[in-house]
Amino acid sequence: MLAERDRIAGWLLVGMGALAMLHAGFGTIPAWWSGIAAWLAAALLVHRISGIHRMVVAAITGIGALGLMVGWALTDTLPWSQAISQNHTLLTMLAAVTFLRLISLPPTQALALLPVGHKAFRQTVLGTHLFGAVINISALIIIADRLTQDRPLDRTGATLFSRAFSSCAFWSPFIGGTGIVLAYVDGAELPKLMMVGIPLAGCALAFAYFSARLSGSVDLDSFRGYPIRFDSLAIPAMLGIGVLIIHDLVPSISILIVIAFTATILTITVLALRVGAASATTTLRGHIEQRLPQLAQELSLFLAAGVLATGVGNVVAAVGDPIPFSTLDAATASLTLGVMILLAMLGIHPIIMVSIIAVMIVPLSPDPNLAALMFLMTWAIGVAASPLSGTHLILQGRYGVAAWKVARWNFGYCLTMYGLAIIALYIYDAL
């Protein structure tokens, strides 16, 4: 029975994506149709969500619904369709990029011998970051599983994965953090965000390496890592080039939809060329019915966040903006970033902060790129700082490393990246 629910939910998510693309491309189909498909899939996948996660989702949805009711009472406006479909493009992108796992990573038999030494450590950091930037948390799990086959994950490995993966949010358009920011900040320009974010990500990776090298607590000469195969980097490169070309040709279509479309077409094409149409069809069907349902937690969280953002926006429209400053510049962005990182350290998920504050700063008419950079930095640093981030909970549940310990080990890293983020905000604002 549960397997049947998963199967139906998987196809509903495919329908969600197809409807979202049709809405973006032609506009004849309302966005809430895609939202309805997502909500139906979420209802079928409730059994995959833990009790604590259900409580969090229920609380977020309840607060958002309360905001909708308050705004309705004060303004006689109830944006129900927006609440249903607020994050449908983001969810479409997240679902689409899961297919890239079918073609992106090298086969296990190619990794029979693990490299050893400083170069191996650098390769593992870079590999986790690059593959994670494209196929999300799947890359971390695949690489970490390989490295822990015959030994437990220690502090060095845990912080390596935490920092290498969380820093993807500084620039990668293929992960949830960037997706939610692009969905909430109208007018943000991806190339400009990447120009600032990529150097910050480079600093994060350099910190991961040199902190391990200088700490004296680990012998990098004997570190066994994950090899980078340059042929496996071809798919991420093709995806990135394809996205930029299509976005340049049709800039009116959401970058999230462009990413979803490109990832889907690329996966189908490459898979068909590699194994033939019949085998590709079987593989894709298995992915839809078995892998897509594993998005249950992200699906429910982003749907709830959409209700929350719409509810908060409805209240703000009715009673005014509570933001304590009148403009968003480098100084106020740096201060807001610091507050959000502190809240992340207390366990508040970045999506909640982005959903609420993005709505509140709209009346300020901020530079969209400055606002987007602030939120991307919040996500990238906040995930590393939070004891309740999905990344750290996976490290705890799958590899036995306490999430709160990883967050504590990352304190110096987060403080350093916050300082670098402030510098980047001021440079961007000045230019």
- Burial class, 365, CB count within 10 angstroms (exposed 0-12 / middle 13-18 / buried 19+): exposed
- The string of DSSP codes covering 92-155 is HHHHHHHTTHHHHSPPGGGGSS--BSHHHHHHHHHHHHHHHHHHTHHHHHHHHHHHTSSS---H
Question: Comparing C-alpha atoms, which of 417, 422, 429, 184 is closest to residue 328?
Answer: 429
Task: Note the pTM of the prediction, 2 decimals.
Answer: 0.79
Helices (H), 287-367: 296-319, 330-345, 350-360
Predicted confidence at residue 364, as pLDDT, reads 84
Predicted confidence at residue 119, as pLDDT, reads 83
> Could you give the CA distance from residue 211 to residue 160 in angstroms, rounded to a whole number?
10
> Helix (H, G, I), strand (E, B), or coil: what is residue 388?
coil
Q: Which long-range contacts (CB under 8 A, 24 or more apart) does 50-58 make?
A: 50/297, 53/297, 53/300, 53/301, 54/300, 56/301, 56/304, 56/349, 57/300, 57/301, 57/303, 57/304, 58/304
> Could you give the CA distance from residue 357 to residue 343 in angstroms, rounded to a whole number?
13
Predicted confidence at residue 231, as pLDDT, reads 63
> Could you give the CA distance from residue 186 to residue 252 in angstroms, rounded to a whole number?
12
Instruction: Give the pLDDT of the chain (431 residues) as one tens digit per residue.
Output: 778 899 999 999 999 999 999 998 887 789 999 999 999 999 999 999 888 778 888 988 999 899 899 888 888 888 888 889 888 888 898 888 888 888 876 555 444 566 777 888 888 898 889 888 877 777 787 788 777 777 788 888 899 999 999 999 999 888 878 888 888 888 888 889 999 999 999 999 999 999 888 876 566 777 777 776 666 677 777 887 888 788 788 888 888 888 889 989 999 999 999 889 999 999 999 999 998 998 888 898 889 888 888 888 888 777 766 677 778 999 999 999 999 999 889 888 788 888 888 888 877 888 999 999 999 999 999 999 988 787 887 888 778 888 889 999 999 999 999 999 999 999 999 88
Strand partners for 116: 224
Predicted confidence at residue 242, as pLDDT, reads 85
Indicate the domain borders of the chain.
Answer: 2-430
Contacts of 47 (CB under 8 A, 6+ apart): 2, 5
> Could you give the CA distance from residue 155 to residue 204 in angstroms, rounded to a whole number?
17
Predicted confidence at residue 380, as pLDDT, reads 95
Q: Which residue has the tokens 């604002």?
A: 429
Percent of the chain as helix, strand, coil, to the nearest 5: 80, 0, 20
> Helix (H, G, I), strand (E, B), or coil: what is residue 76?
coil
Question: Comparing C-alpha atoms, which of 39, 43, 24 is closest to residue 83?
Answer: 39
> Could you give the CA distance from residue 98 to residue 138 in angstroms, rounded to a whole number?
8
Q: Which residue has the tokens 């402030």?
A: 422
> Could you give the CA distance from residue 286 to residue 93 in angstroms, rounded to a whole number?
19
Q: How far is CA 203 from CA 164, 167, 254, in A?
A: 11, 9, 29
Q: Is residue 24 within 8 Å of residue 253, measured between CB atoms? A: yes
Strand partners for 224: 116
Predicted confidence at residue 146, as pLDDT, reads 76
